[in-house]
Amino acid sequence: METVSENRSHGGTQGVYRHQSTATGTEMTFSVFVPDHAEGQVLPVLTYLSGLTCTHANVTEKGEYRAACAKHGIVFVAPDTSPRGEDVPDDEAYDFGKGAAFYVDATQEPWSAHYRMRSYVEHELPALIQSRFPVDMARQGITGHSMGGHGALTISLRNPGRYRSTSAFAPIASPLNCPWGEKALSGYIGADRAEWRQYDACALIEDGARLPDLLVDQGTGDNFLEDQLKTHLLQQAVDAAGMTAQIRMQPGYDHSYYFISTFMADHVAWHANRLKR
């Protein structure tokens, strides 16, 4: 693992790191914030998955999580959204290819060789974090924004008991029912929509997956709300399942990091309450 940079911030260390991934077959970059702590102490960890067109840098530079994580003693991990490199296939559109891997393990050529972000986030990255940082992987939380909110929800739903806490900012709630999801899943997974259900939070809940509770914030001024995010379908799914969830519609907020940073401290505190029990 190569250290790209480390900086003191908010009573902790913000680092950016690079390693060769076996899951994607490429170099992968991620950031980690570690609050100051006693020697030998291990801390809860919160993983944040970013959205379309983003890298690890967007939340690292604009997420405003460090003060809250330092206050609550939470390690914050932010991976990239896709494999990168000259040999990695791409698409001219912003919503497919590099920066838009959708946290799936692709099965279709030419994407299947490198686009394995599900395996990377579910298995490889947590093992690397555990081996190199002072974390207690029995106390994990996961969150994310937009495409990353979709990733956080589906990864947690597919792995019951692994994450003590799950939240999301403006998640793509039902990729089976929106243009972003239909494009990504048909391209990466193929035409069989039954195979898509493992990558759709609403479908997973309908099929029996459950979370102990859930926090979602969604801005009412988000221009993607009606066509792409489909928050109402997530509300319908959790209501039908009798699942505990706070889905908060925040008046006037859009899809940007102005929105995310406004509610980030709330989410960190919400996770801390569950991770430190």
Could you tell me the residue ranges of all domains in the chain? 2-276
Architecture of domain 2-276: 3-Layer(aba) Sandwich (3.40)
pLDDT of residue 126: 97
* CA-atom Rg of the chain in angstroms: 17
The length of the chain, given as a count of residues: 277
Which residues belong to the active site? 146, 222, 255
Q: Is the pLDDT at 258 greater than 90, yes or no?
A: yes
β 12-20/27-35 pair status: antiparallel
Asked if the peptide bond before residue 179 counts as cis, ω within 30 degrees of 0, the response is no
pLDDT of residue 277: 81
Give the up-direction half-sphere exposure of residue 59: CA atoms within 13 A in the CB hemisphere.
Answer: 30
pLDDT of residue 167: 98
Mean confidence (pLDDT) of the chain: 97
Q: Is the pLDDT at 214 greater than 90, yes or no?
A: yes
216 vs 153: CA distance, rounded Å: 10
| Whole-number percent of the chain with pLDDT over 90 | 99
pLDDT of residue 246: 98
Q: Give the contacts of 65 (CB within 8 A, at least 6 positions apart).
A: 33, 48, 59, 76, 264, 265, 268
pLDDT of residue 238: 98
Q: Rounded mean pLDDT of 7-12? A: 98
Strands (E), the chain: 2-9, 12-20, 27-35, 43-49, 75-79, 135-144, 163-169, 215-219, 246-250
pLDDT of residue 198: 97
Q: What is the pLDDT of residues 70-91, one digit of tens each?
A: 999 999 999 999 999 999 999 9
Q: What is the pLDDT of residues 216-241, one digit of tens each?
A: 999 999 999 999 999 999 999 999 99
Q: What is the pLDDT of residues 110-137, one digit of tens each?
A: 999 999 999 999 999 999 999 999 999 9
| Whole-number percent of the chain with pLDDT over 70 | 100
